[in-house]
Structure 1
Amino acid sequence: MKCKNVHSKLIFFLEKELPDSEMKQVQQHLDECSECALFAAEMKNTLQILDSDKVTDENPFFFTRVKARLEKQEEEQPVSRPVLVRILQPVAFSIILLLGIYGGFKLGESPDATVADSQLSEQEMVPFWNELEAEPIETFLME
């Protein structure tokens, strides 16, 4: 067996996931080749370090500490705001909102415009209707 093939199967060999025939071939190659045996030893040490890092230490008092914190939070209920503040805050917000809307309408109006000036009379619209005859596409679509 070549070194390249052994390297590709080495992790499965160390995890003992290869079939018996391949396990014997890899073991035979590792007995004969010192470089692959050294590489296998390093790989085995690396896998052992990774396995030891996977194990997490469970703290037996974690649940009791969390439970104590939750009970402490339940005891320390937030102080409710006075009734006057709870009522005045939405009222003040509504008044400010209405003033903003009113101000927006006032800013949108032009100072010289009146209702009569803003509407076009029929006589002023006649020239626009006459221009439609000059544009054949619009007249075609309008018919």
Structure 2
Amino acid sequence: MNCFTCEHYFDAYFEGVLSSEMKSQMEEHLDSCKSCAAMYALWQKAEYMIKEEKSTSSNPFLATRVMSKLEMPSETAARKQLVFKPVTIAFIVGIAVFLGVILGNLYQPVKLHPAISEEMFYLNDGAIEPIAFYEAK
């Protein structure tokens, strides 16, 4: 067995799925070849580290703590409400005052015509004599 073939079968040898003939060839090559033996040792360490990383221990109280934090109203939200509400009310009042001043300045009172005298009010246009009446004299 050469080094390339040996490296190719590291995974199968590590998991123990090689046939007995291939297993004996791998063991002979690893005993005789120091570079492959060193590489296999490094490969084994990497596999063990990967398995350790995959197997994480779970904290049984983690879900309880997370859920309690989610259900509890946060202090920052309460602070934001304490600041945001008065600022919003002040802003709305300011806008209302501004619009009141603008609308008040836009209002122009209706200018009425001068009062009509009583004589003009009682004047009956239908009873007025035609101009020809005055010309004949």
How does the TM-score come out when normalised to structure 2?
0.49
How does the TM-score come out when normalised to structure 1?
0.47
Pair member with larger Rg = 2
